[in-house]
Homo-oligomer: A and B are copies of this chain.
Amino acid sequence: MISREFLYENVRNRVLDMIDTGLLYPGEKVPSLRRMSEQLGVSISTVMKAYVELERTGHLETKPQSGHYVSGSAKAAVPSPPAFSTASEPMAVDLSGLYTSFMRAMTNPDILPFGAAVPSDELLPSRELSRLAKKIGDENPQLVHSYGYAEGEPALRQQIALRMLDAGVSVDPDDIIITCGATEAINLALRAVTRPGDTVVVESPCWFGYLLMIESMGLKALEIPTDAERGPNLEALAEAMARFDVKAAVLQPNFGNPLGGLYPEETRRELCKLLGRSGVAIIEDDIYGELSYEGKRPKSLMAHDRYGMVMHVNAYSKTLSPGSRVGWIIPGRLHRDILRLKISSTLVTARLPQLVIARFLAEGRDIRCLRKLRTAIRSQTATYSAHIARYFPEGTVISRPLGGYVLWVGLDPATDGQKLYKDALRNRIGIVPGMMYSSQERYTNFIRINCGHPWSGRIQEGLKTLGALAQEATG
């Protein structure tokens, strides 16, 4: 006869597994006592005992008349990283060397893909897109290979205009300019509104791509402390604007990289007012906007803009096809300037990838595809997070993203993140060192982990090894 103790452990482990692997997410309802009893073939009282114990250890919580829920506390044991509180002096940036090394690691298939913020191939509709490419090539090979429009394919711009309605923005297809990914869009926007020596506001931490552009254009980055829940610190921003002649701000209101947060409504309104009334160009990078774990696509900052100062930037690189390099910008009254810059930067965007994505969108195939993707990355991120909490040294903090692919992981302040990056690479594990998220040698004890790849034994092993390396690096 099997002992009651064993049966009880069985239930407990099942629930912990479901939490660990992201099958159950904080705030979600755990299977009812009856259901679990049936599934595992144990008595209801055994399940009840296990649930009470899990409540005691902080993994579950009860809601009156409703049942048991996964508490935030499985992660709450791991606090999210604190933001620093005042803006820095504007600084010239020097990160390219590190970035080149990182890019090289990112494209090596032998290296565990915790580096670049991209989903695994299997989560993307590559096969469907390839079929469409075939079809379009058969229908009109000459169209595909002739120069297109500097503004981009009309059919694509029309589909994008339709989808912008979900982001609370009503634009004419002619207001949209197609670019070689979001990178070109941001690059053109910055070039349109700044001159060398100018100051540009960025979040801190922020995507290193911005810092590289700022470096390459001879601009200065002004880093504003940013919190996943509250967005950029508006007081710090106002103070900085009083001290420096800020020309532009590059922001990610929706599931920004690396924090994965969402600016509150109030912050959006205030931000648009504060920057807009000072004539500061707001470049909104919404590349993760479609990747909400909740499923609801948040609004664009453009929806709050009363001053015509927001330029919206986006791309299909994080949702449909990184390799197609199809992005766009809605430059508002700078349309003419941006189009000129586009012409002198890359003339036109590659035509076939535009035609393929336009057709994919026109057939409405992106809807199902995005739903599948959101479900997968929500679960993956939870699973990765749970294992980082398990394997990493005590004192580790982990971000609690609401969307996107990445976790922002803070280690003991004495940890040398760059050394950890190199040690990890030696163990064939790619990560991004936190210092790349600032021009100020901040975040040296942070790393960013991409959770875009489905959970597997290899990935679990990788995180375990990374945890051990982090432990070593702490000393």
Which residues does A use to contact B, with CB under 8 Å? Answer: 96, 99-100, 103, 106-107, 116, 118, 121-122, 124, 126-127, 129-131, 133-134, 137-138, 141-150, 180-181, 183-184, 187, 191, 195-196, 209, 212-213, 215-216, 218, 317, 320-325, 336, 339-341, 343-353
Contact = CB atoms under 8 A, between A and B. Distances in A.
25 contacts: A96-B343, A103-B150, A107-B148, A122-B142, A124-B142, A124-B146, A126-B144, A126-B146, A129-B141, A131-B137, A133-B134, A133-B144, A145-B320, A146-B322, A147-B317, A180-B325, A195-B196, A196-B196, A209-B344, A212-B340, A323-B350, A325-B348, A345-B345, A352-B352, A352-B353
Contacts of A344: 183, 187, 209, 212-213, 215-216
Contacts of A146: 118, 121, 124, 126, 322-323
- Grouping DSSP codes into helix (H, G, I), strand (E, B) and loop, the A interface class, with mixed when no group exceeds half, is helix
Given A323-B352, A349-B325, A118 B133 contact: no
B216 A195 contact: no
Nearest to A148: B323
B118 A145 contact: no
B180 A147 contact: no
Nearest to A150: B103
Contacts of A127: 141
Given A130-B137, A147-B322, A196-B196, A350 B180 contact: yes
A155 to B, nearest CB: 14
A323 B346 contact: no
Contacts of A218: 195
B133 A352 contact: yes
Contacts of A212: 340, 343-344
Contacts of A142: 121-122, 124, 126
- Most chain B CB within 10 A, of A126, A144, A324, is at A144
Contacts of A96: 336, 340, 343
Nearest to A132: B137
Contacts of A339: 100
A244 to B, nearest CB: 21
A121 B148 CA distance: 13
- Most chain B CB within 10 A, of A118, A180, A347, A349, is at A347
Nearest to A213: B344
A348 B353 CA distance: 14
A323 B137 contact: no
Nearest to A184: B346
Given A126-B142, A142-B121, A345-B345, A147 B183 contact: no
